[in-house]
Amino acid sequence: MKYSDLLTTVLSSSVEDWRSVPGRVTPHFVGEIQEGDHHWLKVSEHYSQWIFMPDVRISLAFGLPTSSDDPELEFEWRFPDPKAYEAFGDIRFNGSVVHRAHLLHVDGSRAVLPTPRNEVAPSGAPFGMERFAYSATESEVAFARLIDRISGHRSFDDYLRRAGIVALPDESEG
């Protein structure tokens, strides 16, 4: 299967195509931490995994933190809980990660959104640039929407609108 065919298959799938797999999700990522005389291992992992029922070679995993330093982010969004936590969303084929996206838990994990980029324009600001929008590509939005919906959420489009994230066309690979 070609990479582009895999992405098309996943992004055009429906919630009903996916089945949750309970229990621990592998692989586990182990990090060694040392602070002064204290030394320990930290295990991180995805906490959700789904199998694509029409082709069980395809799976999704979500929840592995993108950073162990400070996973809490703040945006100027007007959600009741202003904190956001970034996590990886993976597309796997035969158990191997073939696509990894940065996704956000927002509003107390009530929704999953794509991690946006700042769109900036020249201004009279001190550094000469000012953010005027958050953006994500159409495929990033589609993947976040899929993870959000198979996670059981139902308000993705409302959260995307309230966050002010604008979907931009994907760049062609040609």
Would the pLDDT of 92 be above 70? yes
Count of structural domains within the chain: 1
Question: Is the pLDDT score of 122 beyond 70?
Answer: no
Contact between 84 and 105 under an 8 Å Cβ cutoff? The reply is yes
Q: With bands split at pLDDT 50, 70 and 90, how would you rate the model's confidence at 172? A: low
Which two tokens mark 59?
């799976």
Q: Answer whether residue 142 is part of any domain.
A: yes
Residue 169, judged by CB atoms within 10 A of its CB (0-12, 13-18, 19+), counts as exposed
174 part of a folded domain: no
Q: Which residue has the higher pLDDT, 17 or 37?
A: 17
Residue 113: inside a domain: yes
Gyration radius of the chain over CA positions: 18
Q: What value does the mean pLDDT of the chain take?
A: 86
Cα angle, residue 22 at apex, residues 69 and 15 outer, rounded to 5°? 95
Helix (H, G, I), strand (E, B) or coil at 11: helix
Query: Which domain range does residue 149 map to?
Result: 3-168
The answer to whether 59 and 50 are in contact (CB under 8 A) is yes
pTM for the complete prediction? 0.84
Could you tell me the pLDDT band of residue 72, with boundaries at 50, 70 and 90? low
| Burial of 56 from C-beta contacts in 10 A (0-12 / 13-18 / 19+) | exposed
Residue 110 lies in a domain: yes
**71 domain residue, yes or no:** yes
Look at residue 174 in the predicted model and tell me its pLDDT.
Answer: 45
The pair of structure tokens assigned to 123 is 């201004």
Is residue 173 assigned to a domain?
no
Residue 141 has a pLDDT of 97
User: What mean pLDDT is predicted for residues 127-138?
Assistant: 75
pLDDT band at 28 (very low <50, low <70, confident <90, very high): low
pLDDT score for 132: 65
